[in-house]
Amino acid sequence: MCLNPSLEKVRFVLEFVRYGASRCVEYKRKDLSWLKELAQRERTRQRKLHELAASGEHELKASPGRHCAWCPLLLKGCPVAKTNPYSQMTAEERLRFALWLQEAEKQNTKVLKDLMVERGLICYRDGNQGAYVADFVPVEKRFYPYRDAVAILDEWFRTHPPMSRA
């Protein structure tokens, strides 16, 4: 609006990448004065932060999160790389790891089921006294002879044409 006097309002969609949320705001010409004031104040604060970082006296804290996916320092230069879960692997390595976990889970479940067949219920208690149990859970299943079921379904579809089913 400062550069274009014909504009009366501007609409912004702000993306808060760290929190995965977005917010829409609209500013009118009458908001210009306080917006300028706010921008100048924030610019001063930003400059101070840059000076602090450049002086090396204060260590600026980095906090990892979803926003790391866009950060150019992610795989090289992140100050908290050692503990940042986003910088431990590349995206491709993550996918490979996910596939490996999937396969490991399948294999582990298969072995666990074989052990349960042999030994019955398996219990485990962790250091916090949390109890975990692996056991077969009966699932009720019903089977209907195909020949009988088809005749019943045919009859149902015949007496319930698509229009009357809605």
Q: How far apart are alpha carbons 126 and 142 in whole angstroms?
A: 38
Rg of the chain, C-alpha, whole Å: 31
Options 20, 78, 122, 162; binder of ligand SF4; rule CB under 6 A: 78
Site for ligand SF4 in 87-106 (CB under 6 A): 87
| Strands of the chain, DSSP E | 9-16, 21-28, 122-125, 131-134
Judged by CB under 6 A, does residue 116 bind ligand SF4?
A: no
Strand, coil or helix: 121: coil
Options 1, 10, 67, 116; binder of ligand SF4; rule CB under 6 A: 67
Q: Using CB under 6 A, which of the segments 6-14, 19-27, 65-73, 142-150 binds ligand SF4?
A: 65-73
In the complex with ligand SF4, the residue whose CB is nearer, 88 or 108, is: 88
Cα separation values, 3 from 6, 8, 29, 148, Å: 9, 12, 12, 78
In the complex with ligand SF4, the residue whose CB is nearer, 62 or 116, is: 62
Judged by CB under 6 A, does residue 62 bind ligand SF4?
A: yes
3-class SS letters over 23-48: EEEEEEHHHHHHHHHHHHHHHHHHHH
Judged by CB under 6 A, does residue 17 bind ligand SF4?
A: no
Q: Using CB under 6 A, which of the segments 47-55, 72-80, 112-120, 139-147 binds ligand SF4?
A: 72-80
* Binding footprint of ligand SF4 on the chain (CB under 6 A): 62, 64, 67-68, 71, 73-74, 78, 80, 84, 87
